[in-house]
Amino acid sequence: QVQVVESGGGLVQAGGSLSVSCSVSGTIFYIVSMGWYRQAPGKQRELVASVNSGRGTNYADSVKGRFTISRDSANNALYLQMNSLKFEDTAVYYCNAYVYTTRSTWNEYWGQGTQVTVSS
């Protein structure tokens, strides 16, 4: 089994910064990609940023220039540095990992989410 745990969420004033972290543990053969998603009340879950095994990154247009995703492959960890936070960034942030648990068995795993609230 694979466990995904996020941490670092909290209440932040608009214009401030916050960093969230994700740790993946368990039976891991290979992690293809990892990403951060978020879901605000009444909205669909959306991709915030992702990084693949080749360290290529992808960002939602709404966070480009403000958020930075990084991956620590040695420790199966993922980070998201969020700067210049806006009220619109308020959401539950989820960590996602595409994991091969054996040479031929894979699945996508999700954390429980961490709440990020930006006050205006």
| Mean pLDDT of all residues in 17-28 | 97
Given a cut of 80, is residue 101 above it in pLDDT?
A: yes
| Mean pLDDT of all residues in 6-34 | 97
Mean of all residue pLDDT scores within the chain: 96
Given a cut of 90, is residue 120 above it in pLDDT?
A: no
What integer pLDDT is reported at residue 52 of this predicted model? Answer: 87
Given a cut of 90, is residue 38 above it in pLDDT?
A: yes
Tens of pLDDT, residue by residue over 76-94, are: 999 999 999 999 999 999 9
Angle at 9 between CA 97 and CA 117, to 5 degrees: 120
Residue pair 119/21 in contact (Cβ under 8 Å)? The answer is no
| Mean pLDDT of all residues in 86-113 | 97
Tens of pLDDT, residue by residue over 40-68, are: 999 999 999 999 877 799 999 999 999 99
What integer pLDDT is reported at residue 104 of this predicted model? Answer: 96
Q: DSSP letters of 27-96?
A: S-SEEEEEEEEEE-TTS--EEEEEEETT--EEE-TTTTTTEEEEEEGGGTEEEEEE-S--GGG-EEEEEE
